[in-house]
Amino acid sequence: MNDNIILGINQYGKAEVRVVKVTRDSARHEIDDLNVTSQLRGDFRAVHEEGDNAHCLPTDTQKNTVYAFARDGIRSPEDFLLRLGRHFTGNYEVVSGGHWSAEQYQWQRIPVNGEGHDHAFVRSGQETRTACVTIDGDQTWVVAGLTDLVVMKSTGSEFHGFMEDRYTTLKGATDRILATAVTARWRYNRLDLDFNEVYGNVKRLLLETFADTHSLALQQTLYAMGKRVLEAHPEIDELKFSMPNKHHFTVDLSPFGLDNPNEVFFAADRPYGLIEASVLRESSSPAGKAWENVTGFC
């Protein structure tokens, strides 16, 4: 039996580099707030097998590069990560690829006398924007997305006509609350994009579709959201969604002599339904390694 031990797949870098860039060219400042992870791939056998660091670019250096590059501005998370990825793969023979990902926190100007303040901001916690760049040799993939876009509809949602067996107790609903926290990622087929503009538009389409789809199942709403984005954005080939069905149960108020015409609910935190799917063009380009470092989806 050949029981040689060999090094398998590996990557390394600095995780969760928190960088805040203030653009202060004028009295009206801009804030970019990112959490960046850099992961290099390549020939790192020597450091693993021998502890030979000659071809190991320290994770500390990767962190410093994030801060140094931020000095020139962030533009968009995608552009910033592409710059990092191209820098590491372009300058070091041993680095053949890697993953660069970011979460972006959003800040809004604090309104004072009806005007957004020049340099005072409040975290606008609607959702966290995400970006992930993967490079392998001369191929590059960009996946954008968002997490925790919490939405709710107080009507316009039904769920009935489902399969039933001896364990089914759920009653069909013709008017229920639909609530979820949308986590979505989408894969671009081009890189020459205004990533900020596309992001804003995709978020708007996701919200509009959630709002204006009369839902017969969260699965149907999810699919409609993906379809709407793909129809409007030829530069996107595929979206992946992970959406918890945040159940709201009507409370029985009859012990108190009260009726409950769908007005008082118990918002359960667990368990929750978990609805996940990918929506894509049949003609889409191969996903390649686009999803390699993107976790949390089916």
Ligand X SMILES: O=c1[nH]c(=O)c2[nH]c(=O)[nH]c2[nH]1
**Active-site positions?**
14, 59, 247
Choice between 156 and 273, CB closer to ligand X: 273
Q: How far is the CB of 155 from ligand X (least distance, A)?
A: 15
Regarding 250 and contact with ligand X (CB under 6 A), the answer is no
DSSP-derived secondary structure letter, 173 = B
The answer to the question of whether 189 is labelled as a binding residue is no
For the stretch 105-126, what's the b/e string if a residue is b when 16 or more beta carbons lie within 10 angstroms of its beta carbon?
Answer: bebebeeeeeeeeeeebeeeee
Q: Pick the piece of the chain touching ligand X (CB under 6 A) from 8-16, 36-44, 203-211, 216-224.
A: 216-224
The answer to the question of whether 23 is labelled as a binding residue is no
The answer to the question of whether 241 is labelled as a binding residue is no
User: What does each C-alpha distance from 4 to 1, 7, 51 come to in angstroms?
Assistant: 9, 10, 19
The tokens for 83 are: 């710059």
Choice between 30 and 158, CB closer to ligand X: 158
Tell me whether residue 142 is exposed, middle or buried, using C-beta atoms within 10 angstroms of its C-beta: 0 to 12, 13 to 18, 19 or more: buried
The answer to the question of whether 59 is labelled as a binding residue is yes
- Are the CB atoms for 129 and 146 separated by under 8 Å? yes
Q: How far is the CB of 197 from ligand X (least distance, A)?
A: 32
The site for ligand X, by CB under 6 A, has a size of 7
Regarding 142 and contact with ligand X (CB under 6 A), the answer is no
Regarding 245 and contact with ligand X (CB under 6 A), the answer is yes
Ranked by CB distance to ligand X, the top (closest) residue is 218
Residues of this chain, 261-290, that bind ligand X according to CB under 6 A: 273
Exposure on the CB side of residue 237, measured as CA atoms within 13 A: 17
Single residue of 22, 120, 170, 298 touching ligand X by CB under 6 A? 170
Choice between 102 and 218, CB closer to ligand X: 218
Among 295, 85, 282, 75, CA closest to 185 = 295
Among 131, 144, 240, 154, CA closest to 201 = 144
Q: Is 35 helix (H, G, I), strand (E, B) or coil?
A: strand
Preceding amide of 255 cis, omega within 30 = no
Choice between 41 and 153, CB closer to ligand X: 153
Residue 207 — φ and ψ, nearest 5°? Answer: -65, -45
Choice between 133 and 275, CB closer to ligand X: 275
The answer to the question of whether 245 is labelled as a binding residue is yes
Q: How far is the CB of 205 from ligand X (least distance, A)?
A: 21
Site residues for ligand X per CB under 6 A? 159, 170, 217-219, 245, 273
Residues annotated in a binding site for 5-hydroxyisourate = 60, 159, 176, 219, 245
Extract the annotated binding site for O2. 245
